[in-house]
Amino acid sequence: MFEDLIPHLVELRKRLFIAAMSVVVGFVVCFLFWENILDFLLAPLEGVLPPSSNVIFTHPAEAFFTAMKVSFFAGFLLSLPVIFWQLWLFIAPGLYDNEKKYILPFVASATIMFLIGSSFCYFIVLPTAFDFLINFGGDTFTALPRVGEYIGFFIKLILAFGISFELPIITFFLALIGLITDKDLAGFFRYAIVIIFIFAAIMTPPDIFSQFMLAVPLILLYGVSIFIAKTVNPQKPLFEDEKK
């Protein structure tokens, strides 16, 4: 049995290596422009900071490691098409010939949906959340956010929204190969809502509004996923009588 797994592990190693190398290349390129990228990432925070506040660092190496982190994150985003491409090539041997033709739609749609989720977070969620969190108690305290902590939090939230917006794409291909149906998703809906709100509470700042900003789109995407599954792989009646 273990011998049967060896070819799959070799293939997985190959795909992970190619994906990792694409991220490394993206990292090197982005490191040349890390200051411009950092300015872009700081914009949602700096847009709501009071005039007396500044973004700071408190550790001698914090600025350097922040530059590394920013470059790696930007390199990861640049490498998304390659990462999704390698993911598809890994699962493609288990698909039928008529299913393998979806490689380009999968890579394009997965990349676009990740970027849509990230953009929604960047332009709507982050400014709203930081406006509330930074200015809460602004008359009592002076906000001096650390750049390292902010970038870590920023990346976490962007990834949460980007991954969440992949739900319709994942549903489409799982329904395409017959692993799920619309009835499966509809039956799991009440549990999905609980899981979504727990996920949102973990991934967002500790304020109700931000949690809803992640949870509500996810619930809507889950509803869209049910419709997608119904279109691609509708639940078949168990008996002929049910068709009448």
pLDDT in tens, 58-95: 888 999 999 999 999 999 999 999 999 999 998 888 77
According to the model, what pLDDT value does residue 138 have? 63
What tokens does 167 get?
A: 């739900």
According to the model, what pLDDT value does residue 232 have? 86
Instruction: Report how far residue 16's alpha carbon sits from residue 86's, in angstroms, rounded to the nearest whole number.
Output: 8
pLDDT in tens, 2-39: 666 778 788 999 999 999 999 999 999 999 999 999 99
pLDDT in tens, 98-126: 778 888 889 999 999 999 999 999 999 88
Instruction: Report how far residue 170's alpha carbon sits from residue 199's, in angstroms, rounded to the nearest whole number.
Output: 18
pLDDT > 50? residue 242? no
Closest CA to 147 of 24, 37, 29, 31: 37
The whole-chain average pLDDT of the chain stands at 88
Task: Work out the average pLDDT over 52-62.
Answer: 86
Instruction: Report how far residue 205's alpha carbon sits from residue 207's, in angstroms, rounded to the nearest whole number.
Output: 6
Instruction: Report how far residue 86's alpha carbon sits from residue 64's, in angstroms, rounded to the nearest whole number.
Output: 31
**What phi, psi does 26 have (nearest 5°)?**
-60, -40
According to the model, what pLDDT value does residue 244 have? 44
The structural domains of the chain, with segments of one domain joined by +, span 1-232
pLDDT in tens, 172-186: 988 888 888 899 999
